[in-house]
Structure 1
Amino acid sequence: MTIPALLATRRRLDGAVQAFVSDDEEITFAELDDASRTLAGRLVGAGVTKGSRVGLVMPNGIGWATAALAVMRVGAVLVPLSTLLRPPELLAQLRAAAVTQLVVVPRLRGRDHLDELASAAPGLTEHARRGRPHPDLPSPRWIWTSDEWTSDELPAGAAPAPLVEALGRAVRPADDLAVLFTSGSRDTPKGVLHTHGNGLRAVASSLDSRRIGRGERLYIPMPFFWTGGFGGGLLSALVAGATLLTEAVPEPARTLRFLERERVTLFRGWPDQAARLAAHPAFATTDLSTLRPASLGAVLPPAARPGPGARANLFGMTETFGPYCGSRLDTDLPAGKHGSCGRPFTGVEVRIADPETGTVLPPGTEGEILLRGPNVMRGIAGRHRADVFDADGFYPTADRGLLDADGYLWYRGRLDDMFKVRGATVYPMEVEAALRALPGVTDAYVTDAYVTAAQVTDVSTGPGAAGAAGAAGAAGAAGAVGAREVAAVVVASSLDDPDELAEQARANLSSFKIPTRWLIVRAPHRVPRLASGKVDIDALRRLLVEEGTAGSRKVRSR
């Protein structure tokens, strides 16, 4: 239950096995152990030691994995940072995590991260390279580029091997492993603290449900700086003895060639990532016959794809280091459990409570999901434990759900996502599920949008616009200057008529829940996201108000 012990185990059991394959590089578990030990010695010589917080701004690859393991094997704390962060966001996370050493890729996707940092905090790089605190960001003592990090340009020689080994033996399961940043669509980012013990325990608890074992060749397109890539990919491969296939910058045609060449057996990630590959013209001629049934359905042969809701929706969060609830992904759920998240994994206790009073609710009653157990985070950077956990040690997640009598968890959305339209309560997740079940719809994202009186009264009286017209009337009667609508961005390959979608949705939704403002897009990347990968609700609203149209008007496909 520590990284140095895990590396030793993998070397002993699977030393000659490929640990990672990245683009045109590969490394075995023994080579990874050697490379991370060598780099660890150089980092210790440069001042990294137990408790140091080392930030990484790097793309996926063997270099990222080697650097991360070098940091963690000597008891330093890894702080994975998104390559998508803009300078003010990056500076905020450096402050929140109290990063002491920072490694930055020189250039990536046309961006120079060091130049951007210098423009946001003049003099930061010079101060850090001299080991001096900066007035606006006092924690960083060193800033290196990823090229310098692995070259002979570190500011000191390597520490002796016996010291590196001694630091590894001193790492305990209770020691901090990483600070992982997460945020809801409306929250400021928070740094979640995980220990070696709770992080690796959480990874191990989900392996059986995710069907990851020794010999698996796992592809996850998620970046390592997110929990899905770090815990679900890199550490899952280490714990299971599987081979991880990864790319610095995934691109559909290249990815398909990569997966065919490397004989991928398991494709996990977000459904839209698999759908994007399946929609590529080269997909039909790509040999993915080695894929196993626990892979995402879009990349499987049609006959092997599970029905809607038949497989568990693996459910988790950064605070639990990935999924904490699920069921085997190669097996359909029992009758009556389709659409559920499965059962909580060993190491997590789930409680449903009234969000207002904290009263524990009986099975079958919807409330806030609370979590407790050895797989759950140690805490949140900068927050007192009493501000994070309740008096019984449970973490209030702000997720809505229920546990049925058989212990299956049913997720109902976020407490803060609920909104009211003309006095009626709308839960976006319920509407999204209904829209995603419609023929031709790949994905859907629902929120509330406040539109002006001019925008509201521009709505015609067709069936897709009845709700908005009613809202306009109510707004006018009350003398309001606008109204709140149910709004949806729908990803669809061929549909372009919101009235058709609205009419089909009426079979499963009450009239007040049917969107009255629509934007139909062809590509998933049109859905705005935060640097954390989550949907940017504020940007989604702006997009819907600025580009969306109401019912009975054709929507230009984008």
Structure 2
Amino acid sequence: MPPAEPAAPTIREPLTPPGPLTIPEALTIPGLLAVRRREDADLRALVGDDDAVTYRELDDASRALAARLVAAGVGKGSRVGLVMPNGVGWAVHALAVTRLGAVLVPLSTLLRPPELVAQLRAAAVTELVVVPAFRGRDYRAELDAEVPGLTERLRAGGRQPAVPSLRAVWTPDELPAAAAPAELVDALERVVRPADDLVVLFTSGSSGGPKGVLHTHGNALRAVASSLDARRVGPGERLYIPMPFFWTGGFGAGLLSVLVAGATLLTEAEPEPGRTLRFLERERVTLFRGWPDQAARLAAHPDFPTVDLSSLRPGSLGAILPAAARPAAGARANLFGMTESFGPYCGSRLDTDLPAGKHGSCGQPFAGVEVRVVDPATGEPLPPGAEGEIRLRGPHLMRGICGRHRANVFDRDGFYPTADAGVLDAEGYLWYRGRLDDMFKVSGATVYPLEVETALRGLAGVREAFVTDVADEAGDRHVAALVVVTPGATDGSEAMAGPDGLAEQARSRLSSFKVPTRWLVVTDPAAVPRLASGKADVGALRRLLREQGVVRSRKVRPA
């Protein structure tokens, strides 16, 4: 007998619009869990690779674990590191920590031992929970190799100077079984306030070292709520985000978003295109968000044409929508944000085209964040339409950065200098131009990689494009591009999808000095070098283009 077809889930229509949180108790994690238990107890909160949990079960499991954490010495103000892949277990541990008023420190499963130790120090982690093994790695053994005698000294009640704040390292199964009284857990939850620290999220740009960004319960949950309407995340949605939970895109735009909205999150520990497609079909996904190249990888998989994704809503990434439902390039807002703003701070509804004249923009700032564009040299505000540095201020922004005084994080007016370049028009629409530190000059003219990438992504057969500068032996800089094209695009059509054809197409969209002169054209998205955060690794990209890139386009000087 063939297996029974899984029952289609009951999906409630999203609220229009799902506005900012108005329930005071929901501005903390314990308050939010109480709301979800009251309103959506039997709705699935999270569906993983081979397990699932309802909101009632998530509340029960995280509360039981919280009682064990309290008995083990965790309390308000403790900083608990978590090294674990996406799944129900990650969510239970994170909510157990934060419902007590302790501070969660999500740590990447891709960190190497020296990087992990550096982040433990930077965030002053007091307790660490590590998965026993993942992708062939034993994190505790690696820590002991990096900091000899660490486990033995901690078990004896001592400290290790290399990580002086650390008091304990546990795997999930090693956490002491004793539980604190329910009354004590209740008391700790009652004194959690919106102003209390919620999480330290480590971030890095495409270059440079990581930094620990501090967010409070109130600023994080309000930031999430402010973007729900634009992202079309409402009650009953079944949202898939392939981003890891240790990153803002997985924790804020994923886990906390479904908790605020009363939706269901679909997640995997190790996404793989073929398996992911079957997972999305089985679970009747309604929204697919993430990076565009993640959707492009699914669309390029041989199984994609045979998978039923008819449950997807228009707010999903265009690459996996039916051709007729895909928006024109630039027609929808490019949601724009950063770890410091706890996700997107600027956007517009993802199922609706931008107004005429606003295509290509990031939309308008969400409530709770004020955007200012300034002269990067003087910090003076610029008039609408002028290009400068984007600075942010408002109650949805981070509280600060670990180890830095507020005066070294915010300017004299309380704005955070983002080092992003942009233009804010008279109607409040923001255009992102690129990173000030990524900008480079070719023959004396300024080139922003993002501008060139956007143009290349609009060319026939191009799925993704990554642009940087490469210096020649004389030290002169040249625009270089790694382009991911549709499989088969170069078969018999080299004139269009090869370096010469792409350069010729690009000349119709870009000034001559911005057209790449060094090209690497690939069909496999995995060829793009990436950091642990998933962002393109600019240093590795530059080396790859220098070593394997082909010079095809004549160097020209700006007109």
Q: CA–CA distance in 1 between the matches of 2:171 and 2:511?
A: 55
**Quick check: 1:268 aligned with 2:268?**
no
2:262 match: 241
2:519 match: 518
Which moves more between the two structures, 494-503 or 181-190?
Answer: 494-503
Count of matched residue pairs: 520
1:146, distance to aligned residue in structure 2 (A): 2.8
Out of 44, 47, 64, which is 1:38 matched to? Answer: 64
1:92, distance to aligned residue in structure 2 (A): 0.9
Q: Which amino acid is the alignment partner of residue 339 of structure 1?
A: G
**Quick check: 1:423 aligned with 2:444?**
yes
1:229 match: 250
Out of 53, 73, 76, which is 2:99 matched to? Answer: 73
2:90 match: 64
2:383 match: 362
**Quick check: 1:21 aligned with 2:47?**
yes
Q: CA–CA distance in 2 between the matches of 1:552 and 1:186?
A: 27
1:375-421 Cα shifts (integer Å, max 9, x gaps): 00000000000000011111010111111111111111111111112
1:490 match: 483
1:482, distance to aligned residue in structure 2 (A): 4.2
1:552, distance to aligned residue in structure 2 (A): 6.7
**Quick check: 1:350 aligned with 2:350?**
no
Out of 79, 104, 110, which is 1:53 matched to? Answer: 79
1:435-460 Cα shifts (integer Å, max 9, x gaps): 111101111111111232xxxxxxxx
Query: In the alignment, is the contact (CA less than 8 A) between 1:130 and 1:142 conserved in 2?
Result: no
Mapping for residues 248-327 of structure 1, pairs under 5 Å: 248-327=269-348
1:481-531 Cα shifts (integer Å, max 9, x gaps): 443211111111233621111111111112211111111122222111111
Out of 183, 188, 191, which is 2:212 matched to? Answer: 191
**Quick check: 1:438 aligned with 2:429?**
no
Query: In the alignment, is the contact (CA less than 8 A) between 2:517 and 2:553 conserved in 1?
Result: no
Q: Which amino acid is the alignment partner of residue 178 of structure 1?
A: V
Q: CA–CA distance in 1 between the matches of 2:154 and 2:250?
A: 29
Q: CA–CA distance in 1 between the matches of 2:389 and 2:267?
A: 36
Q: Which amino acid is the alignment partner of residue 236 of structure 2?
A: G
**Quick check: 1:331 aligned with 2:343?**
no
1:313, distance to aligned residue in structure 2 (A): 0.4
Q: CA–CA distance in 1 between the matches of 2:204 and 2:51?
A: 33
Query: In the alignment, is the contact (CA less than 8 A) between 2:46 and 2:264 conserved in 1?
Result: yes
2:14 match: none
Out of 388, 409, 431, which is 1:410 matched to? Answer: 431
TM-score, length of structure 1 as denominator length: 0.92
When the two chains are superposed, the root-mean-square deviation of aligned CA atoms in Å is 1.2
Q: CA–CA distance in 2 between the matches of 1:184 and 1:356?
A: 21
1:104-139 Cα shifts (integer Å, max 9, x gaps): 111111222122212211112222333321121111
Q: CA–CA distance in 2 between the matches of 1:126 and 1:207?
A: 47
Q: CA–CA distance in 2 between the matches of 1:54 and 1:129?
A: 17
1:533, distance to aligned residue in structure 2 (A): 2.0
Mapping for residues 42-191 of structure 1, pairs under 5 Å: 42-149=68-175, 154=176, 157-191=178-212
1:551 match: 552
2:529 match: 528
1:258, distance to aligned residue in structure 2 (A): 1.0
1:126-183 Cα shifts (integer Å, max 9, x gaps): 223333211211111000113324xxxx2x6211011001100000000000000011
Query: In the alignment, is the contact (CA less than 8 A) between 2:528 and 2:541 conserved in 1?
Result: yes
Q: CA–CA distance in 1 between the matches of 2:428 and 2:407?
A: 28
Query: In the alignment, is the contact (CA less than 8 A) between 1:204 and 1:236 conserved in 2?
Result: yes
Query: In the alignment, is the contact (CA less than 8 A) between 1:58 and 1:146 conserved in 2?
Result: no
2:395 match: 374
2:24 match: none
Q: CA–CA distance in 1 between the matches of 2:411 and 2:538?
A: 28
Q: Secondary structure at the match of 1:407?
A: coil
Question: What runs of 5+ residues in structure 2 fail to find an aligned partner?
Answer: 1-26, 491-496, 555-559
Change (3 A) 1:397 1:552: closer
Question: What runs of 5+ residues in structure 1 fail to find an aligned partner?
Answer: 453-480, 554-558
Which moves more between the two structures, 176-185 or 487-496?
Answer: 487-496
Query: In the alignment, is the contact (CA less than 8 A) between 1:57 and 1:82 conserved in 2?
Result: yes
Q: Percent identity?
A: 75
1:328-383 Cα shifts (integer Å, max 9, x gaps): 11111111111000110000001111000111111111111110001000000000
Query: In the alignment, is the contact (CA less than 8 A) between 1:105 and 1:147 conserved in 2?
Result: no
1:502 match: 503
Q: Normalized per residue, which structure has more helix?
A: 1
